[in-house]
């Protein structure tokens, strides 16, 4: 690899524009790999054109999984590309062994940590959270043990990456609701067998978007956000009477499809606890997939009431690019750098620093 002519690459989904803009802001060129039929955002509307746009080049593939084809990989290698993985990359490849062993393009971050996101894998994010001594919701292995309001985290039948979550407060309700969803073709028994039954946490949702730099050995909080999802967001805007009418007789099935992100801030008195949680996560990750976290990761959390005092409960982990561009509207990166820095730009800054100090191998895999 020619360190004097680096290109940043990613697939055209999830957070590609943030990657492209971040690379461009740091004087690096970029390539977006696009699936045919889904390329206009990158090839037309945000294509670099003089002083406007941010996408320098587009590579078209029939389907995202084609990025594993030797000829596509060779194009990226010839371009001196460093690839930035995101959740869409994991979902569309749908094969962590292939990501770890068959993808030969130099990848930013620790590719062996990606699979820990999957709840059905071993070790998984819960094992890592246990090691880090980070609180997460109580889980129930047997539906017969359900003794409180729970959320059952099961995936859709048709779209294995989308959520068909449902609530339950008892074993009887669990069995009746899951049976109904299977009969309606919303979920499968196989999916239900792999589902996680988790205590529903009542609190304020805040996602903490961190960045760990192995070069400076510093943990950074780049920003905080919350998510809005269909159709639960719309349902929650109705009165209790309207909700009851819609939910009776199962007229509406609650959905948790990610739709947007909203910037939020947290009490400054919580920040020390937030950073301590992030530090423990970084250290614990080294035991599961050495050298551990490299670059961005997010802890999706609920801030819950005391006593004795407010606490943080993590309900999901993103061990890679979190994909929430709105975090630049929060002040935390500005407190550190004197200006708002998004995740894409922070990665580009780190790559440039690694090249300057001949440490590129420390931040890629």
Instruction: Please spell the DSSP secondary structure of 280-321, one letter per residue.
Output: HHHHHHHHHSTT---EEEEEEEEEE--SSS-EEEEEEEE-S-
Can you give the residue range of the structural domain that contains 305?
125-135+202-345
Same domain, 225 and 328: yes
Residues 6+ apart with CB under 8 A from 201: 137, 302, 304, 313, 315
| pLDDT band at residue 161 using 50, 70 and 90 as cut-offs | low
| Tally of residues, the chain | 365
Dihedral angle over CA of 10, 11, 13, 19, nearest 10: 10
Q: Is it the case that residue 131 has pLDDT exceeding 70?
A: yes
In contact, 30 and 55? CB cutoff 8 Å: yes
Q: Is it the case that residue 70 has pLDDT exceeding 90?
A: yes
In contact, 33 and 59? CB cutoff 8 Å: yes
Same domain, 130 and 275: yes
Q: Is it the case that residue 168 has pLDDT exceeding 80?
A: yes
Same domain, 14 and 87: yes
Q: What is the CATH number of the domain that holds 213?
A: 3.30.470.20
Same domain, 207 and 251: yes
User: What's the pLDDT score for residue 60?
Assistant: 98
Same domain, 254 and 216: yes
Model pTM greater than 0.85? yes
Q: Is it the case that residue 114 has pLDDT exceeding 70?
A: yes
Residues 6+ apart with CB under 8 A from 202: 302, 304
Same domain, 155 and 275: no
Tell me how many domains the chain contains: 3
Q: Tokens 């529903």 map to which residue?
A: 200
Mean pLDDT computed over 81-100 = 96
Percent of the chain with pLDDT over 90: 85
Pick from 155, 181, 199: which residue ends a domain?
199
Q: Report if residue 184 sits inside a domain.
A: yes
Cα dihedral sign, 291-209-360-96: positive
Q: What is the pLDDT of residues 342-357, one digit of tens each?
A: 999 999 999 999 999 9
Q: Is it the case that residue 13 has pLDDT exceeding 70?
A: yes
Mean pLDDT computed over 305-310 = 93
Strands (DSSP E) along the chain, which ranges?
7-11, 29-35, 57-61, 81-83, 150-153, 166-168, 196-199, 204-213, 218-231, 256-263, 295-304, 311-318
User: What's the pLDDT score for residue 312?
Assistant: 98
Q: Is it the case that residue 108 has pLDDT exceeding 70?
A: yes
């Amino acid at each position: 690899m020619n360190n004097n002519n680096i290109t940043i690459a990613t697939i055209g989904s999830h957070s590609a524009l943030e990657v492209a803009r971040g690379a461009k802001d740091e004087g690096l060129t970029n390539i977006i790999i696009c699936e045919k039929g889904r390329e206009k955002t990158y090839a037309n509307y945000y294509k670099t054109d003089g002083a406007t746009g941010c996408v320098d080049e587009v590579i078209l593939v029939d389907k995202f999984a084609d990025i594993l084809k030797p000829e596509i990989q060779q194009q990226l290698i010839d371009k001196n590309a460093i690839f930035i993985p995101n959740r869409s990359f994991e979902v569309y490849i749908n094969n962590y062994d292939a990501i770890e062993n068959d993808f030969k393009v130099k990848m930013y971050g620790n590719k062996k940590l990606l699979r820990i996101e999957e709840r059905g894998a071993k070790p998984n994010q819960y094992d890592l959270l246990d090691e880090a001594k980070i609180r997460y919701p109580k889980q129930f292995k047997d539906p017969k043990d359900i003794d409180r309001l729970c959320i059952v985290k099961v995936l859709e039948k048709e779209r294995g990456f989308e959520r068909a979550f449902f609530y339950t407060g008892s074993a009887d309700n669990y069995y009746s609701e899951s049976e109904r969803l299977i009969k309606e073709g919303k979920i499968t028994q196989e999916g239900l067998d792999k589902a996680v039954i988790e205590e529903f946490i009542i609190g304020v949702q805040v996602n903490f978007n961190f960045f760990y730099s192995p070069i400076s050995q510093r943990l950074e909080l780049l920003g905080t956000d919350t998510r809005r999802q269909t159709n639960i967001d719309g349902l929650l805007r109705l009165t209790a009477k309207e909700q009851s009418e819609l939910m009776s007789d199962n007229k509406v099935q609650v959905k948790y499809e990610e739709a947007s992100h909203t910037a939020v801030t947290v009490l400054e008195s919580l920040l020390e606890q937030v950073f301590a949680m992030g530090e423990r996560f970084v250290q614990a990750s080294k035991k599961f997939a050495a050298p551990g976290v490299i670059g961005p990761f997010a802890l999706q959390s609920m801030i819950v009431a005391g006593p004795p005092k407010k606490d943080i409960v993590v309900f999901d982990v993103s061990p890679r690019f979190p994909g929430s561009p709105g975090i630049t509207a929060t002040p935390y990166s500005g407190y550190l750098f004197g200006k708002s820095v998004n995740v894409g730009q922070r990665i580009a800054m780190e790559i440039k620093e690694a090249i300057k100090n001949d440490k590129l191998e420390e931040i890629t895999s």
